[in-house]
Every structure is written in C-alpha cells, then in structure tokens.
C-alpha cells in the first residue's frame, strides 16, 4: 500500500490580522434600514492568517448596519483581535471544527465575528492542500450559480426600471425590488419593473424586516397580482408569528432572512412554519462552518435555500460560490455576490470573481482562488 501524502500537517498559524476596509459604491445604495439613507460605501473586515511556512488564508465579514445589527466595524475588529487571535495563533489550520468551537465559547454566537476566521481557515487549508475549498466541502456539483440582481431603492420608478434594464442587458433574469419605506411607491415600482421586463423574469421583494404585520399584509395583498416569486422578511426579526401568518395567507411565498441567524433560529422557523424558504449570508450566519449546518436542516424541512450576502467583495462571494458548488441539492438564484457585478467602485483582490450573463463562476484556484491586492488594501483600509 502506498503511504498517505503528508499534506503539510505540521503547519502552524503564526499570525491573525483583522483588516477593516471601506469600499465605495459607484452609486449610493439604499434599503429599508433604520437610518433610511442611501449609503456611499460599505464596510467589511478581512481576516488574514499566516503560517510558519509562508502560506496565507483570507476570509471576509460584513459590518453593514441594519435591523438587528449590534456591531459595527470597530466592534468586529476588536472581537477578532482581542479574543480570537490568541485562540487561533499556534494552532493547525486544519483544526477548523475545534477552533470554531473555541471561538463560540469565548464570544457566544458572535457569528459576524466568527465568519471571517472560519472562512480564512478553509481558504488556508485549501491553499496548503492545493485544492479549491469546494473540494474540501465534498467536491464540485456545479460550475456556476445564477445570480439575482438586487435593485437598491431609487428616487423614482423610472430610475429603478433603468437599473433593472442595466442588469438585464448583462444577462440577469432574477430581480429583487427593495420595499418597506413607502407602500404607494413600492406598488408603482414593482408594477413598473414587471411591465418593462415582462413575465419571463422573476421578481421578489424585500423589506429587510422594515414593516409592521398590518402594513406588510396590506402591501403584499396589493403586490400579489404581479406574480412575485418571494416576499423576503416582510416583518421584523422577532416576529416569527407574523411571518407564519403571512406564510399561512399564502398570496406570495415568504422567505426568512434576518430571522435566521443561528441553527436554533432556523429550527424555530421550521417549528412554526414561519417561511417556505430562507436566505443565508456569510456574515449573518457565521461563514461556511455554520451555513453548512443550516442548509441540510432547511432541506430536511422542505424549506428552499437561497444563497445570499450583504454587500461583499469577491472574497465572501467566492466563499459562497464554493459552498454552492459543493451543494448537490437545488438552490434558489441568490444575491450572494451582491455588488461584485459592477456596483462597487473597486475590488480588493487581484482577480475578482467572474460574473457573466447573470451567472457567477466558481473560482478554480486553491482555497477560495482569491489573493488580496496589497495596494488596494492599503488604499481602502480604515485604520491605515
């Protein structure tokens, strides 16, 4: 019998950096958040691990404040530097499950902070073994994933339709319209997009938890004739009974987003039949390590899975692409590479993820197949 290959088993992590980065949008981005403003940029935190043999791994999380946010970019950097770095440094990058367990013990359910550390461990392990992360996760079941175009709120219906046309001309066939601040404008917007793009595209709406139950039911009834695929998180995070009542109403299928963070929160959605589909995100759900627990539970409960994301760079988009690649079951066209399709003014990796005709291609290189662009990091880091 041939002896097994050694696969760098003696490698040790020698440093963990938490790098806060601010990326500008080309055009300010607006959803139904508490501040109700259009934002000119988004903040992320990149974690970079280095080993004693010179290998590097990178992971990304979001610091996008919205309903349910308790952390901003500085809190996340502090949690990672102060509490996680001492746990990770000195360990083997292949001890992913044990390290994640230790992170959760020191800062319970700190999913946004844990995500970039776990994902950097996956990236590093893949790079050390010379295989893509999708191989570590069980092997590639697909080469690309269809992406949803997430339309930021616009000043009027014409501007929204123009934005939708910009995406359609580039191959997108799935659209999300943000709602929840002005019901009359929401109806006008959805109607305008449906009329211009026709019935061959799918449209879903998302209020990011921004409506009361009464307002949501009233608005969704008005939107029902437009043949929407989903209404995403119409009511706040905590209102699972409200989500369940909307699901029971049945006029538009209900997707849970903000209400699903931990595996326990998904279990509660399942118990109450609060949604028929869910959306996961790298930051919100704690990265690959935890999302891999959510999808099988959703599948077992008959809940559709949409890979989503907050506004991200190509690093978190690639992490999600590898997760999708290794998932053999069906997936709903998602916004998991949100803002990598030309909406952000710049990228922080050498070769951004490839988005073509509304499809995101799974990178081929080892790990996530991404390398940081040092000049860009220098330019956009917040603590430089």
Instruction: Compute the least distance from the CB of residue 331 to Mg ion, in Å.
Output: 16
Instruction: Compute the least distance from the CB of residue 8 to Mg ion, in Å.
Output: 39
Binding Mg ion by CB under 5 A: which of 60, 123, 206, 347? Answer: 206
Instruction: Compute the least distance from the CB of residue 178 to Mg ion, in Å.
Output: 9
Instruction: Compute the least distance from the CB of residue 233 to Mg ion, in Å.
Output: 5
For residue 267 the two structure tokens come to: 């279990």
Of 128-157, binders to Mg ion (CB under 5 A) are none
Q: Considering CB under 5 A, how many residues would be counted as binding Mg ion?
A: 3
Of residues 308 and 352, the one with the C-beta less far from Mg ion: 308
Measured in Å, how far apart are the chain's first and last C-alpha atoms? 54
Of residues 257 and 347, the one with the C-beta less far from Mg ion: 257
- Bridge partners for 21 per DSSP: 44, 381
Stretch that binds Mg ion, among 47-55, 183-191, 224-232, 269-277 (CB under 5 A): 224-232
Of residues 123 and 333, the one with the C-beta less far from Mg ion: 333
Residue nearest Mg ion by beta-carbon distance: 257
Stretch that binds Mg ion, among 255-263, 284-292, 343-351, 356-364 (CB under 5 A): 255-263
Of residues 160 and 278, the one with the C-beta less far from Mg ion: 278
Binding Mg ion by CB under 5 A: which of 43, 71, 119, 257? Answer: 257
Angstrom distance (rounded) from CA 160 to CA 324: 29
Would you count residue 232 as binding Mg ion (CB under 5 A)? yes
Q: Which residue's entry shows tokens 């028929």?
A: 276
Stretch that binds Mg ion, among 142-150, 167-175, 227-235, 318-326 (CB under 5 A): 227-235
Q: Is 198 left (phi over 0), alpha (psi -120 to 50) or beta?
A: left
Stretch that binds Mg ion, among 70-78, 191-199, 251-259, 376-384 (CB under 5 A): 251-259
Stretch that binds Mg ion, among 72-80, 220-228, 231-239, 240-248 (CB under 5 A): 231-239
Chain centroid to Cα 16, Å, comes to 23
Q: Which residue's entry shows tokens 């692409």?
A: 321
Stretch that binds Mg ion, among 108-116, 184-192, 205-213, 358-366 (CB under 5 A): 205-213
Instruction: Compute the least distance from the CB of residue 348 to Mg ion, in Å.
Output: 24
Instruction: Compute the least distance from the CB of residue 257 to Mg ion, in Å.
Output: 4
Angstrom distance (rounded) from CA 92 to CA 327: 26
User: What are the backbone dihedrals phi and psi of residue 193, each rounded to the nearest 5 degrees, phi first?
Assistant: -65, -45
Would you count residue 176 as binding Mg ion (CB under 5 A)? no
Instruction: Compute the least distance from the CB of residue 206 to Mg ion, in Å.
Output: 4
Instruction: Compute the least distance from the CB of residue 121 to Mg ion, in Å.
Output: 27
Of 270-289, binders to Mg ion (CB under 5 A) are none
Angstrom distance (rounded) from CA 306 to CA 266: 14
Of residues 11 and 323, the one with the C-beta less far from Mg ion: 323
Instruction: Compute the least distance from the CB of residue 161 to Mg ion, in Å.
Output: 21
> 115 near 84, Cβ under 8 Å?
no
Of residues 118 and 308, the one with the C-beta less far from Mg ion: 308
Binding stretches for Mg ion (CB under 5 A): 206, 232, 257
């Amino acid at each position: 019998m041939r002896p097994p290959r050694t696969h760098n088993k003696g490698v040790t992590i020698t440093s963990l950096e938490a790098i806060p980065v601010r990326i500008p949008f080309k055009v300010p981005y607006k959803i139904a958040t508490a501040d109700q403003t259009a934002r000119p940029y988004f903040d992320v935190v990149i974690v970079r691990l280095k080993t004693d043999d010179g290998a590097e791994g990178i992971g990304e999380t979001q610091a996008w404040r919205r309903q349910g946010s308790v952390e901003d970019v500085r809190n996340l950097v502090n949690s990672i530097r102060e509490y996680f770095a001492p746990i990770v440094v000195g360990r083997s990058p292949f001890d992913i499950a044990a390290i994640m367990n230790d992170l959760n013990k020191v800062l319970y359910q700190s999913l946004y902070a844990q995500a970039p550390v776990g994902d950097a461990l996956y990236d590093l392990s893949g790079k050390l073994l010379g295989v893509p992360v999708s191989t570590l996760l069980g092997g590639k079941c697909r080469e690309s994933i269809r992406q949803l175009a997430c339309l930021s709120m616009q000043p009027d219906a014409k501007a929204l339709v123009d934005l939708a046309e910009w995406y359609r001309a580039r191959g997108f066939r799935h659209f999300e319209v943000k709602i929840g601040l002005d019901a009359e404008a929401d109806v006008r917007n959805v109607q305008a997009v449906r009329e211009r793009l026709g019935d061959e595209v799918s449209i879903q709406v998302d209020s990011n938890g921004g409506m009361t139950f009464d307002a949501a039911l009233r608005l969704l009834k008005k939107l029902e004739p437009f043949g929407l695929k989903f209404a995403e998180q119409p009511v706040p995070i905590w209102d699972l009974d409200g989500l369940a009542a909307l699901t029971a109403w049945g006029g538009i299928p209900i997707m849970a987003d903000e209400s699903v963070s931990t595996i326990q929160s998904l279990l509660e959605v399942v118990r109450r039949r609060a949604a028929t589909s869910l959306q996961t995100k790298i930051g919100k759900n704690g990265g690959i390590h935890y999302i891999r627990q959510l999808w099988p539970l959703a599948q077992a409960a008959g809940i559709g899975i949409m890979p989503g994301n907050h506004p991200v760079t190509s690093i978190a988009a690639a992490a999600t692409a590898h997760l999708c690649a290794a998932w053999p079951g069906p997936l709903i066209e998602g916004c998991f590479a949100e803002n990598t399709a030309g909406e952000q003014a710049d990228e922080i990796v050498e070769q951004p993820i490839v988005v073509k005709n509304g499809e995101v291609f799974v990178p081929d290189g080892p790990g996530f197949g991404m390398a940081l662009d040092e000049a860009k990091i220098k330019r956009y880091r917040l603590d430089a």
